[in-house]
């Protein structure tokens, strides 16, 4: 009965059975590896595909993997790892989460060898220790990398936009910059708008909104006439009723009028409630932070400085007063350009204008101070942190 069932199975799956037999017959076998200071079980001249080989080392030696004995497998002519015996006082690669460390070409470390542990971006050392030593087959106290309080989670969802990342990650280091792109049919206002957000003090900076690109005569929601977003710079009375900053305005009847024209004969325009001017002027890298009946108060996002008036009012002819602009007020520092300063960290950091930061150097208790002044970066040499405190470093 069993034989009959086996025949039925083989006849039912002739192609799969033939493929499996063919794969086994064409797979390469492995020659017996050479092992100094140890022995194999079993000892053979060759080993077939998927055969396992156990080995152990003589007194004073140990396998190149964890354990007092090890197993390797023949996989199509190659061993899953080459059997090797190393000195019992040598160290295997350590397990340091959220970090990278000095790699050894042989794959193991001799007694007395040092490694330097560098935390991944978004993580920091719990102590000043960044060095570990191989001693008698084990590592000295390994540095620990914990998540930095100033790091950020993944960026928040943005309406009508997508975040552009080269690789997915859950933690972003402080001062990380993330770019985004608006979906088709949407854009941010202004030609020089920076399409990015920054991780600052554990939170992401506010991003400019992606708004629908509107063209005259293509939107029925505004009586057949709308205005395409224009530049941020606004003359004293250069924006029309309900229009974004700058450019020409469009009346309810759809006829364009010249920016800055006024229906009032008075040389001094009258202020009226802000709702009389329609949509509020948009500000790249900034927004309205306070609305009153007769005025709007503007402020810029982090890392930007306001240039121009803080208060914007509405005139009786439907135009807005001059709107401020937001100017970049930060330094983007590439630490890799200062490798000769012996700075331990790498990557890019963002500093606000007049902000300074001390970064650790490769020597314990030594730091370097980086200062941002009106877009210019200055970096001091590595010196003892107390010298920084007493301002004896330059």
Q: Give 293-346 as a DSSP string.
A: TTEEEEEEPTTEEEES-SEE-EETTS-B-PPPEEEE-EEEEEGGGGGGGTBS--
Per-residue pLDDT at 266: 44
State the Cα torsion 213-218-222-227 to the nearest 10°.
Answer: 50
Say if residues 143 and 127 touch (Cβ distance below 8 Å). Answer: yes
Domain ranges of the chain: 25-87, 99-147, 232-328, 332-389
- The rounded distance, in Å, linking the Cα atoms of 195 and 217 is 28
Say if residues 186 and 227 touch (Cβ distance below 8 Å). Answer: no
Per-residue pLDDT at 109: 92
Burial of 281 (0-12, 13-18, 19+ CB in 10 A): buried
At residue 336, φ and ψ (nearest 5 deg) are -65, -25
**Of 114, 116, 109, which Cα lies nearest the Cα of 92?**
109
- Beta strands at 348-352 and 330-334: parallel, antiparallel or unpaired: antiparallel
25-87 CATH, one of 2.60.40.420, 2.60.120.10, 2.10.70.10, 3.40.50.970: 2.10.70.10
Vertex 157, ends 156 and 160: CA angle to 5°?
145
Per-residue pLDDT at 220: 36
Say if residues 241 and 278 touch (Cβ distance below 8 Å). Answer: yes
Check the CA dihedral 238-240-246-249 and report its sign.
negative
- The rounded distance, in Å, linking the Cα atoms of 145 and 159 is 35
Per-residue pLDDT at 66: 80
Per-residue pLDDT at 366: 84
- 338 half-sphere exposure, CB direction, 13 A CA radius: 25
Per-residue pLDDT at 312: 93
Per-residue pLDDT at 242: 43
Thinking of the domain 232-328, which architecture would CATH place it in?
Answer: Ribbon (2.10)
Residue with tokens 């972003």: 172
Check the CA dihedral 263-264-267-268 and report its sign.
negative
Which contacts of 361-364 are long-range, i.e. CB under 8 A and separated by 24 or more positions? 362/116, 362/130, 364/128, 364/129, 364/130
Per-residue pLDDT at 9: 36
Say if residues 321 and 315 touch (Cβ distance below 8 Å). Answer: yes
- The rounded distance, in Å, linking the Cα atoms of 181 and 162 is 5
Burial of 224 (0-12, 13-18, 19+ CB in 10 A): middle
Do the domains 99-147 and 232-328 sit in the same CATH topology, yes or no?
Answer: yes
pTM for the model: 0.43
362 contact partners, CB below 8 Å, separation of at least 6: 116, 130, 342, 343, 344, 382
DSSP strands (E only) in 335-382: 348-352, 356-360, 366-373, 376-379
For residue 49, CA distances in Å to 33, 78, 180 come to 14, 9, 50
Per-residue pLDDT at 239: 44
Say if residues 295 and 313 touch (Cβ distance below 8 Å). Answer: yes
Q: Specify the DSSP element, H or E, that contains 125.
A: strand 123-125
Would you tell me how many other CB atoms lie within 10 Å of the CB of residue 353? 17
Query: Domain 99-147, what fold?
Result: Complement Module; domain 1 (2.10.70)
Name the token pair of 28.
């390469």
Residue ranges for the chain with pLDDT beneath 70: 1-26, 189-194, 214-268, 385-392, 394
């Amino acid at each position: 009965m069993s034989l009959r069932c086996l025949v039925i199975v083989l006849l039912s799956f002739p192609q799969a059975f033939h493929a499996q037999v063919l794969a086994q017959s064409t797979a390469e076998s492995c020659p017996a590896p050479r092992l100094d200071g140890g022995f194999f079980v079993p000892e053979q001249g060759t080993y077939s595909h998927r055969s396992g080989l156990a080995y152990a080392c003589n007194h004073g030696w140990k396998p190149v993997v964890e354990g007092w004995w090890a197993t390797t497998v023949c996989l199509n002519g190659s061993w899953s790892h080459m059997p090797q015996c190393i000195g019992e006082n040598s160290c295997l690669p350590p397990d340091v989460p959220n970090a990278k460390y000095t790699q050894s070409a042989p794959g193991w470390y001799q007694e007395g060898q040092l490694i330097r542990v560098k935390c991944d971006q978004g993580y920091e050392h719990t102590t000043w220790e960044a060095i570990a030593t191989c001693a008698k087959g084990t590592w000295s106290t390994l540095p620990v990398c914990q998540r930095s309080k100033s790091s950020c989670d993944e960026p928040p969802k943005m309406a009508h936009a997508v975040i552009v990342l080269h690789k997915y990650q859950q933690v972003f280091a402080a001062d990380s910059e993330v770019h985004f792109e608006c979906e088709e049919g949407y854009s941010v206002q202004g030609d020089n708008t920076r399409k990015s957000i920054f991780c600052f003090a554990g939170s992401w900076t506010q991003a400019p909104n992606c708004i629908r690109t509107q063209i005259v005569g293509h939107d029925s929601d505004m009586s057949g006439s709308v205005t395409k977003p224009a530049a941020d710079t606004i003359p004293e009375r250069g924006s029309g009723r309900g229009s974004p900053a700058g450019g020409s305005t469009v009346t309810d009847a759809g006829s364009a009028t010249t920016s800055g024209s006024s229906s009032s004969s008075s040389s001094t325009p009258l202020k009226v409630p802000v709702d009389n001017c329609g949509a509020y002027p948009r500000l790249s890298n900034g927004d309205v932070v306070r609305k009153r009946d007769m005025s709007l108060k503007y402020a810029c996002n982090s890392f930007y400085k306001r240039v121009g008036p803080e208060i914007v009012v509405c005139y009786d002819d439907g135009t807005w007063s001059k709107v401020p602009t937001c100017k970049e007020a930060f330094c983007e520092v590439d630490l890799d350009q200062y490798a000769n300063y012996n700075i331990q960290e790498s990557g890019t950091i963002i500093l606000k204008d007049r902000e300074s930061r001390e970064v650790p150097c490769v020597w314990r208790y030594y730091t370097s101070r980086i200062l941002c002044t009106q877009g210019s970066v200055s970096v001091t040499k590595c010196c003892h942190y107390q010298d920084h405190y007493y301002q004896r470093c330059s």
